[in-house]
């Protein structure tokens, strides 16, 4: 092949010569090569756009002037703008539906055409052989599209393309309202409905509405009880595909996500819509430079904001006050969660059983009960835990570490759960108030128990005699009537007692006997 002299003299380009051939796809000579990855292009403009992936500047976005939706290319914006202009170029003659480009009409026409390609495994029919072949991979388990960055593979090339962006951090779709970027257009559309408040998908069994069809489908399975995802290892079934995949990795031990810095492997990546666990994403941040230094304890932080928040531990500053009670918090997020105790708002609902939670953390922990996942193992024993914080508390039973020190009495604690209520013993703080009688309490669960005095609720029932109680500890004491258990033993005479009150009365008798003066002869 003869290459024009003026092409050869083009400066700054890496030349790759490939055989030239004519074809129906009008394949052209790809003479522009990327110096970073070797990929070749037929046009200088295509190469220039491609280089953005390597340089990673802020993505260019093309925004619709009427509705402010952003698009990654001017062509997509042009097609979208026809929706506003009213131009309806392509009509389906069979149903009258209108499309703004011919390719979408062609895809649509196949829905009217004869579906002559039959799946022998499930009796479904398809209009093209390509669609049938793609469908069959569900039955065969074939995943021909492998990620070049990790061990994960996919049924469809489009799924691989989206997944690769997790590794490259390419996020070409940007929200015009808040600037947040996304790896694919469906995530952007779902996010934009947060700003608009639109929830177009309504449950046919109740009044709940959803932003995505996938969320609607997961919710409706709460009504129908359908669990279409069956584990071939243990027979457990799931209504949610994400939980199903996480569960399968318990059996396979698969950890398809690898940290490019230290090589550590993870079973989940940063893209997680149902548990937003973001395990790998959080891990990667540990490698980032931490240039903000705390002068009090020598800790370092990657952002000034994190340092400012951290310093409140030393200063004791609690700038966020609850509008319902006297409690104050170091973090706005903690206040937001606390307020839900007063309002009883539970915005996080389990798609498996419908149980609702005040915190996303609680929902995540609960969902692992359904999947059976306990990914965090103790390095001192064989115990496993659903959440890393539980693992940390447990490991302190081995190490004896008690990092929470009371400044009033010097007592230390291994968990903040026990440390918080203890401090209130010294401060006298009682932040939980009964709305009926005004009585205050230092613990929220104590307030809940107290409220049963007003409501008459007695949720704890004896299985032997059907007697009910307002508190579980009172039920436990009552059950000794049936079991004959006498846990309190006198060290002087050996007599045993079922109740603490009786035991204390008995011990007082011994004390009086020992202190009584001896009678004179």
Instruction: Taking residues 497-512, report their average pLDDT.
Output: 88
Res 376: pLDDT: 86
More confident residue, 428 or 371: 428
Query: Measured between alpha carbons, how far is 351 from 353 in angstroms, rounded to an integer?
Result: 6
Cα dist. 210→203, 219, 359, 368, 395 in Å?
Answer: 8, 9, 20, 23, 41
Token pair listed for 434: 């009964």
Query: Measured between alpha carbons, how far is 6 from 16 in angstroms, rounded to an integer?
Result: 16
Query: Measured between alpha carbons, how far is 185 from 73 in angstroms, rounded to an integer?
Result: 12
Short-list 360, 320, 324, CA closest to 339:
324
Res 24: pLDDT: 40
Query: Measured between alpha carbons, how far is 459 from 468 in angstroms, rounded to an integer?
Result: 7
- Return the SS3 of 64: coil
Most confident of 99-113, 251-265, 353-367: 353-367
* Predicted confidence band of residue 296 (pLDDT cuts 50, 70, 90): confident
Instruction: Taking residues 273-280, report their average pLDDT.
Output: 41
Token pair listed for 417: 């759960």
DSSP string, 474-487: HHHHHTHHHH----
Query: Measured between alpha carbons, how far is 238 from 372 in angstroms, rounded to an integer?
Result: 11
Contact 431, 325 (CB under 8 A): yes
- Return the SS3 of 515: helix
In the chain, the domains with their CATH numbers are 460-507 (3.30.160.60)
Query: Measured between alpha carbons, how far is 170 from 168 in angstroms, rounded to an integer?
Result: 5
Res 113: pLDDT: 65
Contact 441, 432 (CB under 8 A): yes
Res 58: pLDDT: 43
Token pair listed for 369: 């009960």
What pTM was estimated for this model as a whole? Answer: 0.33
Most confident of 85-89, 137-141, 200-204, 512-516: 200-204
The percent of residues above 90 in pLDDT, for the chain, comes to 2
Going by their DSSP bridges, the two strands 320-321 and 328-329 should be labelled as antiparallel
Res 16: pLDDT: 47
Res 518: pLDDT: 57
Cα dist. 376→43, 257, 280 in Å?
Answer: 51, 16, 14
Q: Tokens 């995505």: give the residue.
A: 212
Per-residue pLDDT of 171-189, as tens digits, reads 888 887 777 788 888 788 7
Token pair listed for 425: 């013993």
Mean residue pLDDT across the chain: 76
Residue 33: enclosing H or E segment and its boundaries?
strand 32-33
- In the beta sheet, which residues pair with residue 257? 266
């Amino acid at each position: 092949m003869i290459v024009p002299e003026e092409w050869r003299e083009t400066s700054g380009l890496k030349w790759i010569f490939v055989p030239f051939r004519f074809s129906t796809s009008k394949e052209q000579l790809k003479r522009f090569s990327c110096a970073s990855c070797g990929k070749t292009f037929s046009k200088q403009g295509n190469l220039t756009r491609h280089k953005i992936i390597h340089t990673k500047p802020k993505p260019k976005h093309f925004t619709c002037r009427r509705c402010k939706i952003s698009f990654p290319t001017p062509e997509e914006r042009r097609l979208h703008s026809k929706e506003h202009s009213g131009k309806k170029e392509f009509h389906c003659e069979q149903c009258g539906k209108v499309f703004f480009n011919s390719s979408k009409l062609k895809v649509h026409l196949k829905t009217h055409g004869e579906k002559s390609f039959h799946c022998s495994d499930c009796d479904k029919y398809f209009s093209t052989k390509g669609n049938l072949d793609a469908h069959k991979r569900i039955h065969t388990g074939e995943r021909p599209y492998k990620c070049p960055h990790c061990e994960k593979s996919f049924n469809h090339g489009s799924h691989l393309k989206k997944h690769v962006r997790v590794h490259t951090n390419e996020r070409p779709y940007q929200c015009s309202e808040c600037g947040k970027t996304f790896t694919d257009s469906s995530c952007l559309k779902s996010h934009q409905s947060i700003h608009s408040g639109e929830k177009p998908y309504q449950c046919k069994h109740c009044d709940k509405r959803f932003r995505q069809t996938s969320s609607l489908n997961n919710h409706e399975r709460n009504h129908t009880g359908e669990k279409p995802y069956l584990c071939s290892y243990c027979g457990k079934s799931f209504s949610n595909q994400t939980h199903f995949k996480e569960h399968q990795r318990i059996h396979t031990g698969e950890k398809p996500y690898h940290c490019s810095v230290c090589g550590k492997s993870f079973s989940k990546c940063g893209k997680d819509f149902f548990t937003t666990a973001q395990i790998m994403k959080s891990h990667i941040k540990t490698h980032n430079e931490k240039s903000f230094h705390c002068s009090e304890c020598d800790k370092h932080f990657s952002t000034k904001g994190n340092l400012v928040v951290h310093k409140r531990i030393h200063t004791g500053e609690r700038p966020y006050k609850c509008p319902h009670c006297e409690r104050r918090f170091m973090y706005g997020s903690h206040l937001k969660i606390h307020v839900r105790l007063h309002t009883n708002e539970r915005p996080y609902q389990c798609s498996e059983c419908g149980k609702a939670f005040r915190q996303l953390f609680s929902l995540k922990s609960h969902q692992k009960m359904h999947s059976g996942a306990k990914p965090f193992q103790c390095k001192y024993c064989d115990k496993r835990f659903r959440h890393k914080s539980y693992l940390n508390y447990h490991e302190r039973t081995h190490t004896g570490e008690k990092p929470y020190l009371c400044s009033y009495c010097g007592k230390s604690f291994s968990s903040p759960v026990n440390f918080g209520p203890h401090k209130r013993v010294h401060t006298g703080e009682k932040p939980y108030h009964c709305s009926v009688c005004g009585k205050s309490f230092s613990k929220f669960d104590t307030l809940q128990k107290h409220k049963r005095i007003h409501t008459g609720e007695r949720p704890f029932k004896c299985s032997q005699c059907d007697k009910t109680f307002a508190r579980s500890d009172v039920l436990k004491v009552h059950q000794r009537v049936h079991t004959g258990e006498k846990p309190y033993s006198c060290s002087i005479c050996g007599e045993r007692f079922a109740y603490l009150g009786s035991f204390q009365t008995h011990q007082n008798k011994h004390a009086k006997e020992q202190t009584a003066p001896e009678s004179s002869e």
